[in-house]
Homo-oligomer: A and B are copies of this chain.
Amino acid sequence: MPQHKISPDSPIGIFDSGIGGLTVVKAVQAALPAERLIYFGDTARVPYGTKSQVTIRKYAREDTELLMKHQPKLIIVACNTVSALALDVVEQTAGGVPVIGVLRAGAELAAERTRSGRIGVIGTQATIGSNAYSCAIREENDALEVFPKACPLFVPLAEEGFIDHPATRLVAEEYLSAFAGKQIDTLVLGCTHYPILRKIIESIAGPEITIIDSAEAVASKAGELLAARNILNQRAEKALPHLMVSDLPQKFRELYRLFMGTELPDVELVGV
């Protein structure tokens, strides 16, 4: 049981290693516009994907503690790396507050959508190296075959705004050539940055391959969970997200625009 009182008006806490999780904020806002969202982006310590498991687990605990101060009714782990390597740490730290990770949400949707039973997954080195997507997908259905591929350059290319740049296409062609002859029919974007590059990935993958966006998957799962517990927020008005970051670099404003398509609102700077 949670240590604090939970009501429909309690916020949903969302965290990520940096700004990438804003694609999750955007998807949750679209699906559940009345919900109060509290987002923490650990911009001082981004990226998590290149760090060791010990470090990632330490950060996961600290990030969850920060959100718990706001007495959430649900915690969404927008970071695939944390979902892969430290979801148990988040659950322990969250007490009885329910936790959803993007990873399982994406895995479930991929397992539901595939027809051929052959699924590709792309993500950071740490997410792919952990094998967590393969495990999560095969927990859904152990007859499914999963083909993972790490794409470390996609995050910096997205953050540099090289959205439809020929260099991005060359890099994507090289990465996605790993799926040649594998006959996948479903491709999971296993990193919150990747929806930014969705068009170029989609155009190389071709129309036969269904793209699974874990951000959309987690938003839909959050709605189901809140409805089942009868704690959906029923207010009529839309809520603006409360944003917290651990560092506020020059590039943040620009990236916010790239991810959210709107100007940066007020942001709270917090220490970790």
Contact = CB atoms under 8 A, between A and B. Distances in A.
B160 A50 contact: no
A51 B167 contact: no
A247 interface: yes
A157 B159 CA distance: 14
Contacts of A248: 52
Number of copies: 2
Contacts of A165: 170, 174
Contacts of A153: 153, 156-157, 160, 162, 167
A198 interface: no
A166 interface: yes
Contacts of A157: 153
A62 B241 CA distance: 34
B125 A250 contact: yes
A268 to B, nearest CB: 15
A250 B129 contact: yes
Contacts of A43: 51
A55 B247 CA distance: 7
20 contacts: A44-B55, A45-B45, A50-B249, A51-B249, A52-B247, A52-B250, A125-B250, A126-B249, A129-B250, A152-B156, A153-B153, A153-B156, A153-B160, A165-B170, A165-B174, A166-B170, A167-B167, A167-B168, A167-B171, A167-B174
Given A44-B55, A52-B249, 5 more contacts: A51-B249, A52-B248, A52-B250, A129-B250, A167-B168
